[in-house]
Amino acid sequence: MVEVIGVVGAGFMGSGIAESAARAGVGVHLYEPQDDALARSDQRIADSVRRAVSRGKMSEDDATALRDRIHFTTSLEDLGPVQGVVEAIVEDPQAKGQVFATLDAALPDARFLASNTSSIPIAQIASWTHRPERVLGLHFFSPVPVMKLVEVVVALDTAEQAVEEAMAVAQQLGKHPIRTKDRAGFIVNMLLIPYLMAGVRMFEEGFASREDIDEGMKLGASHPMGPLELCDFIGLDVLYAVCDSLYEEFKRPEYAPPPLMKRMILAGKHGRKTGQGFYDYRPAG
């Protein structure tokens, strides 16, 4: 059991991880160097908690207590008391490596240093540290407060004690951890990406309409979303990075992103978050 954890990165995923931890009664130090990013995170969490209260899933008192457990900070020194860290910054190995080098030096007593990466090898991130045995992956799924799964990614040098600590924390946060080796895609994305890219290629080649592709999988396979809807939900830019990572590692054509995805990303059509993807999410008018 942990009493306080650190979250590095106050974007969509970092905010969700912080909210989930606070909801489970764990104290959170949420670090982000930019004040405006922290303000957006604070508002994002407040909106999420407000929706939970309005739907009767949380009392006003519990909502207040949840928000009081989260300490927003622009100072890495404030992470001193944390017992473990989850990093959730941009999917860039250089940026993550520098963060882990800093955390490794600043937090000698942390039980584990985890990355929420969905595509970067944990061994590559751990190579920036002097204690790679406590570095591992904790891959949460979006939206974090709703999704139960966490992939616990074990690198070559990860110590079993760090794995056990991280799995216990995932369970403490109300998640279901599954263990995987450190290779591109881990478990879920290695299975999911070929399916999604097959849907994109089918649409790109004019084989079927986007609606029929999605309805086919929803009604024929009982999926809650069709492949193109799910691409929009995840974000085409995020998927493209995962595809590149998988293709770089395995050199198999089913992992290669179709040309259409690159054109859509260049045009700013990244999915729901930009208002346009395979579908149009912009308000009418």
Query: Has 118 been annotated as catalytic?
Result: yes
Look up tokens 């939970």; give the residue.
52
Among residues 41, 118, 119, 245, the one annotated as catalytic is: 118
Among residues 139, 165, 229, 245, the one annotated as catalytic is: 139
State the Cα–Cα distance between residues 76 and 260, nearest whole angstrom.
41
State the Cα–Cα distance between residues 192 and 184, nearest whole angstrom.
12
- Say if CB 120 and CB 43 are below 8 A apart: no
Query: Has 116 been annotated as catalytic?
Result: no
3-state helix, strand and coil shares in percent for the chain, rounded to the nearest 5: 50, 15, 35
State the Cα–Cα distance between residues 147 and 188, nearest whole angstrom.
13
- Say if CB 158 and CB 136 are below 8 A apart: yes
Query: Has 160 been annotated as catalytic?
Result: no
**Burial class (CB within 10 angstroms; exposed 0-12, middle 13-18, buried 19+) of 166:** buried
Question: Is the four-CA dihedral 116, 120, 125, 126 of positive or negative sign?
Answer: positive
Among residues 15, 189, 229, 270, the one annotated as catalytic is: 189
Could you tell me the two tokens for 76?
A: 């890495």
Among residues 87, 151, 165, 229, the one annotated as catalytic is: 151
State the Cα–Cα distance between residues 284 and 251, nearest whole angstrom.
42
- Say if CB 257 and CB 240 are below 8 A apart: yes
Query: Has 151 been annotated as catalytic?
Result: yes
- Which residue numbers are catalytic? 118, 139, 151, 189
